[in-house]
Structure 1
């Protein structure tokens, strides 16, 4: 989120940044209390721990006690409570959304779940204003939590590259001609990885030289013809090179609030094949920057068809990739997001636009 912080500082007088993260001893305490043999379940219980929220809230309140100069307190996500009327909150998705669309993100049951939802509702109602990543999240805030619509603004999110990649003006004229599909995502199952693997096997029957690069997932995948698992890539430069060498980006997520990797691919001039989940329909323009497939019984066949069409049509790839790049340039830089936030923040901070960010 460094690029976001920089954009905020360009627009506002940021007087401080509060660290609400758990100390090593606190992390150990929460980890012990939430332990499960399954690492995936343990991770979700750790981050959805009511005890963890209490500890982070304590850090936030202690920091704010010395932040009298701030007119607005900016909080990202609802993982701690400030109990401060100056707070505005930036929300990617609500717990009600994730419970309905991806139950694996809800490890809570009974009274623990009731406490989580009650605290979340309390925070949303107490906030001076809410910034939603997408319209679906704004709708959940209004319908599931009862927040008045005039206290919610849909602002999207921005590209996390420090600078826009240099446009590749000769993507199809390079020496490496193998048609390449790129997938980037740590949560392979939630992001539609198994469906993509099944579709790609069909793609290989029609385009034997096609290849699929899988970036991000830490789990070893079964060996499949044409599929290369690249693991996690920490270097932005190396990731940029992969975007530049690929022909099509594919992210057929089953649930994905606002995938940053999609913005990275678009900024790199790649056409995309995606599913219409959460904020994705607001990120892409169907038929212009991306092809959207369904998430139902025909998902794999639709993925296959969309990938084959794009891999075989260089002109269409070039047209869609250029449109995707323009869309990021015009709408999805962090400066654009801050511009969309500014009216609410300036109204709350009047006459001086001063902010504390997390």
Structure 2
């Protein structure tokens, strides 16, 4: 395992290793790929997603009642995995220059044309244990998915884990050698770090929540906790950003829905008194790093990789998942002691600068990529 405090200079290093980059288009992709491109020669990008015809075929074979269950089964079907592998192999063969290493964001496909590394936020074992709604497969379909996941990890030459819990799952649940797995963390999805605000915003005390999966990210618990907050701080506001939840009207709660304008998101961060992400299961919430980068005091739950991002009492406040009373107390502590809250926020901002940018992630990946390409020998 590689400690997160090692190799975090963020300074580009000269190397001629040739890499190909593969992703499904996750929000983090442009930031990570840009950081890697500053260190390596990128010979091409692979987008193994299904063609329109392939999507129709897989959709017909995996249809189930309920959109979310259908979507999970669609993505995790064996036929979809095989098609993605075939698409990737064809795209890799067409590259003008063959890569020394193929870097995949998540476990997308299997390939044998070059050494392969995977960047993994969580394993299926983690999601099945902590958030069963992400696990619609049963019986033979589930067994097949685990076999395919196991084979993908076995075939990879190195594994980059977002967090220590994911590293532990890869080793304990999938039998991967400890030296094959490096914990790299992640970075804030920002083109550059914003100016750090130096004072508490004026106006009504405002709790900001940003998340597209309201229930999994603890939105209902936050609503419950906010009732307690509101009784103690009558002018407090709760601003909800993301997928618009179906909730009853509640005093002080403002539902904005999806906000795609990044300038507006920056404004919401600047106006927030505290940022809260009380998830039940969130492998490595990058939105938390965004809030820290903007210098907003944060309150979160101590699940998954969050304890690696937040030092309790120093860079933020952590509470157990699903506990509205503890959450309310933490929110009231942040609202009621602005000096301490801003001190934690300033320390969190420094942590982002020193540990949680995509340049730092690329630094942590570089030794393994150099070794696989033969450049580090």
TM-score w.r.t. the length of structure 2 is: 0.89
1:15 to 43, 59, 67: 43
The C-alpha deviation readout for 1:96-132, integer Å capped at 9, x for no partner, is: 0100110111111111111110111111111110000
Q: Distance in 1 between matches of 2:98 and 2:86?
A: 20
Contact 1:85 1:126 in 2 (8 A): no
Aligned partner of residue 38 in structure 2, secondary structure: helix
Matched, 1:37 2:61: no
CA distance in 1, matches of 2:328, 2:69: 32
Confirm or deny that 1:52 pairs with 2:58. no
Q: Distance in 2 between matches of 1:235 and 1:324?
A: 25
1:242 to 2:268 alignment: yes
Cα deviation per residue 1:141-198 (whole Å; 9 max; x = unaligned)?
00000000000000011111111112212333x4xx1000001110111111111100
Of residues 95-104 and 19-28 in structure 1, the stretch that sits farther from structure 2 once superposed is 19-28
Aligned residues: 348
C-alpha offsets along residues 286-311 of structure 1, whole Å, 9 cap, x if unaligned? Answer: 11111110125xx1110010101111
Determine helix, strand or coil for the equivalent of 2:104: strand
Give deviations 1:292-342, integer Å, cap 9, x for gaps: 10125xx11100101011111110121111111111111110000000011
Q: Please give the per-residue CA displacement for 1:251-288, whole angstroms capped at 9, x wherever unaligned.
A: 11101100111011010101111111111110111111
Query: Which residues of 2 match residues 177-216 of structure 1 at below 5 A?
Result: 177-216=203-242
Contact 1:249–1:271 (8 Å) recurs in 2 = yes
Is 2:330 aligned against 1:302? no
CA distance in 1 between partners of 2:194 and 2:172 (Å):
39
Partner residue, 2:249? 223
Partner of 2:90: 62
Find runs of 4+ consecutive structure 1 residues off by over 6 angstroms: none
The unaligned stretches of length 5 or more in structure 2 are 1-28
Secondary structure, counterpart of 1:219 in structure 2: coil
Q: How far does residue 352 in structure 1 lie from its aligned partner after superposition?
A: 8.1
* 8 Å contact from structure 2 (residues 211, 242) kept in 1: yes
The question of 1:326 aligning with 2:350 is answered yes
Q: Shift of the alpha carbon at 1:51? A: 1.7
Say whether residues 1:120 and 2:146 are aligned partners: no
Name the SS for the 1:257 alignment partner: coil
Output the TM-score relative to the length of structure 1. 0.94
Query: In the TM superposition, what whole-angstrom CA distance separates every residue of 1:22-57 from its partner, at most 9, and x where no partner exists?
Result: 112222222222222312212212222222111111
Which of 314, 323, 326 is residue 288 of structure 1 equivalent to? 314
TM-superposed deviation, 1:2: 0.9
2:221 match: secondary structure: helix
Does residue 133 of structure 1 match 2:162?
Answer: yes
Cα distance in 2 between the residues matched to 1:77 and 1:151? 16
Q: In the aligned structure 1, how far is the partner of 2:248 from the partner of 2:255?
A: 10
Deviation at 1:13, TM superposition (A): 0.8
| CA distance in structure 1 between the aligned counterparts of 2:306 and 2:230, rounded to whole angstroms | 27
Q: Distance in 1 between matches of 2:80 and 2:266?
A: 35
> Is 1:161–1:236's contact at 8 Å kept on the other side of the alignment?
no
Secondary structure in structure 2 of the residue aligned to 1:26:
helix
Q: Give the structure 2 partner of residue 356 of structure 1.
A: none
CA contact (8 A) 1:156 1:332 kept: yes
Residue matched to 1:169? 198
- 1:277 paired residue number: 303
Determine if contact 1:249/1:273 at 8 Å carries over to the other structure. yes
CA contact (8 A) 1:78 1:91 kept: yes
Question: Take 2:72 and 2:216, find their aligned partners in 1: how far apart are those partners?
Answer: 14
In 1, Cα distance between equivalents of 2:249 and 2:174: 45
Q: What is the distance in 2 between the residues matched to 1:217 and 1:202?
A: 24
**3-state SS of 2:275 partner:** strand
- The separation in 1 between residues aligned to 2:75 and 2:33, in whole angstroms, is 23
